[in-house]
Amino acid sequence: MAQWQEVSEKSKLHPKPVGLVLQYGTAGFRTNADHLDHVMFRMGLLATLRSLNTKAIIGVMVTASHNPEEDNGVKLIDPMGEMLTPAWEVYATQLANAEQDHLISVLKDLARKESIDLTNREAEVFVGRDTRSSSARLSDAVLDGVTALDGRNKDYGLVTTPQLHYMVCCCNTRGGYGKASVEGYYSKLSQAFIQLTKSAPNRTDDQKCLLVDGANGIGALKLREMEPYLQGALKVSLFCDGTGGKLNHQCGADFVKVQQNSPKGIVMKAGERCCSFDGDADRIVYYYSDDHGRFHLLDGDKIATLISTFLKELLTKAGLDLKIAVVQTAYANGSSTRYLEDTMKVIVRCAKTGVKHLHHVAQEFDIGVYFEANGHGTVLFSKAAEEKIQQLCDDSDGERRGAATLLKNSVDLINQTVGDAISDMLLIEAILAIKGMTVQQWDAIYTDLPNRQLKVKVSDRRVIDTKDAERKTVSPAGLQEAIDRLVERHQDGRSFVRPSGTEDVVRVYSEAATQESADALGHEVSLAVY
């Protein structure tokens, strides 16, 4: 078939380094940008086949998120804006690792297995990229892959990861989710934010101010673009905006979360509300410095607590009987889980690391609030929940209608396709405004247990196998028993280890009653892993 010949010819322009093996992990493919040209071309091919398979538009985002500038990566977006389905992650890995001579047979195999009609010319792929210097040429390689299989493409250029998820979802739901353009995204979110903050008429100018660290990446660019749409309802002071510093270097959500410190060079006044995006703006963390100059982090767990409390209170006021749950991972601070279960009385579930796992669990509820501790998360509303909220807006009055309207505006403000730093930030700002809460009051809802995250380099991280949403190890033999013995020696101790899905390391997490104890436990467990 001529088509295969064309693919074969074009693939020679994107040769695979012999022997290079990569895996489609929790965040797609991610490695040094110099090793990714063939992967990008092949992901263009794969997205085209997935589009034919689903008869819908598929997204391809070129980004390595919080990784260093030298890295890059790629992830595919399925029709409703969600992460690529697991069976196709396997195909992605097979395709990326096929040596040049085997590429066509791997593709043919895939097409046969999935009964893909290759005579169909209806495939369409949306492509977006972050601000890395390698991203433009790598996204061109994706486009080459799409055209090699006669797919149509739309290149959105520089967009945040969640913006591309939003576009894919908008088009596949035929406008039902919003207008599929960056302007459509800005308008939808801004309108919802402005409506929500109208319920907080006494906001002072001080309360409207927010310091935002854009990680020197795409989030900074897009937030600046969005500002006029917000019509002064939020006053952003943007730093790490990409004009001077290097992407993710000593700034950004991952740096702040892991270092438990503010971005380098930022001057914070005591009590000032600050937040950091990551390199593709799908994560956010908040923080402030107190009167003694002490740094306080409000991570994904604190965000999930604030949002779920707000939504639960509105459900009560609206008299809506909807089942709300919070989905966390093993990295969630023990204090947050205890607070949510014991004080807030909401259902809490634990999922494996990687938002696709959390997303899946959240879909089981009327309202599923999911956040990784690192600040990656969103809220999902079931169709039935959205309909009930809409109905109440139309049919009720007084306090019930007021609460239903706030719920409706929250639904519109939230990017339900994936964690979104801009959307999460606006929701948090609106909640704080409506509740008249300072960042300190939000922080005081519960006190985090001191914790530590460490990385251990081992010769093969895959020897570590886990169960119980990664909270226990099953192999190598004896490791879990060793961790249990170490944990017992620390008050409020908890620790677990798991192989990273994005880096060649084993991650060690520990928490305990004091920082010294959490650090010591982390160190002891690292030695047990090594």
Q: Which does 280 bind (CB under 5 to 8 A by kind): ligand NG1, Zn ion, none?
A: Zn ion
Measure the CA–CA gap between 89 and 75, rounded to whole angstroms.
10
Task: Assess contact for 134 and 69: CB atoms under 8 A.
Answer: no
- H-type alpha helices, 71-125: 86-97, 103-113
The one-letter code for the residue type at 104 is I
Residue nearer to Zn ion on the CB measure, 124 or 254: 254
Contact between 184 and ligand NG1 per CB under 6 A: no
Residues 362-381 that bind ligand NG1 (CB under 6 A): 372, 374, 376
> Of 250, 175, 238, which is closest to residue 209 (Cα–Cα)?
238
Contact between 452 and ligand NG1 per CB under 6 A: no
Residue nearer to ligand NG1 on the CB measure, 71 or 140: 71
Give the binding site for Zn ion (CB under 5 A).
Answer: 65, 278, 280, 282
Rounded to a whole number of angstroms, the minimum distance from the CB of residue 59 to Zn ion is: 15
**Phi and psi torsions of 474, nearest 5°:** -105, -25
x/- mask, ligand NG1, residues 412-451, rule CB under 6 A, reads ----------------------------------------
User: Strand 295-298 vs strand 324-329: parallel, antiparallel, or unpaired?
Assistant: unpaired
Contact between 260 and ligand NG1 per CB under 6 A: no
Measure the CA–CA gap between 406 and 375, rounded to whole angstroms.
23
* 65: annotated active-site residue: yes
Task: Assess contact for 385 and 322: CB atoms under 8 A.
Answer: yes
Beta carbons within 10 angstroms of residue 244's beta carbon: 9
The window from 37-45, 89-97, 182-190, 495-503 that contacts ligand NG1 (CB under 6 A) reads 495-503
- Using Cβ positions, the residue closest to Zn ion within the complex turns out to be 65
Rounded to a whole number of angstroms, the minimum distance from the CB of residue 437 to Zn ion is: 27
Q: Which does 507 bind (CB under 5 to 8 A by kind): Zn ion, ligand NG1, none?
A: ligand NG1
Beta carbons within 10 angstroms of residue 139's beta carbon: 26
**Phi and psi torsions of 126, nearest 5°:** -95, 135
Q: Which does 278 bind (CB under 5 to 8 A by kind): Zn ion, ligand NG1, none?
A: Zn ion
Rounded to a whole number of angstroms, the minimum distance from the CB of residue 159 to ligand NG1 is: 17
Contact between 353 and ligand NG1 per CB under 6 A: yes
Residue 309 CA: distances (Å) to CA of 329, 340, 460: 19, 9, 42
Residue 9 CA: distances (Å) to CA of 100, 152, 473: 11, 19, 46
DSSP 459-470: S-GGG-EEETTT
Residues 200-259 that bind ligand NG1 (CB under 6 A): none
Residue nearer to ligand NG1 on the CB measure, 310 or 496: 496
Contact between 502 and ligand NG1 per CB under 6 A: yes
Contact between 382 and ligand NG1 per CB under 6 A: no
Q: Which does 473 bind (CB under 5 to 8 A by kind): ligand NG1, Zn ion, none?
A: none
Q: How many residues bind ligand NG1 (CB under 6 A)?
A: 14
Q: Which of 24, 185, 239, 331 binds ligand NG1 (CB under 6 A)?
A: 331
The window from 134-142, 302-310, 461-469, 498-506 that contacts ligand NG1 (CB under 6 A) reads 498-506
Contact between 27 and ligand NG1 per CB under 6 A: yes
Task: Assess contact for 344 and 309: CB atoms under 8 A.
Answer: yes
CA 361 to chain centre: 15
Q: Which does 500 bind (CB under 5 to 8 A by kind): ligand NG1, Zn ion, none?
A: ligand NG1
CA angle 225, 169, 469 (to 5 degrees): 100
Beta carbons within 10 angstroms of residue 295's beta carbon: 14
Contact between 501 and ligand NG1 per CB under 6 A: yes
Structure tokens belonging to residue 453: 């995250």
Residues 46-65 that bind ligand NG1 (CB under 6 A): 65
Structure tokens belonging to residue 217: 């990446």
DSSP 244: S
Q: Which of 11, 51, 65, 336 is catalytic?
A: 65
x/- mask, ligand NG1, residues 278-317, rule CB under 6 A, reads ----------------------------------------
Q: Token pair 């908008």 is at which residue? A: 170
Task: Assess contact for 111 and 123: CB atoms under 8 A.
Answer: no
Active site residues: 65
Binding site for ligand NG1 (CB under 6 A): 26-27, 65, 331, 353-354, 372, 374, 376, 500-503, 507
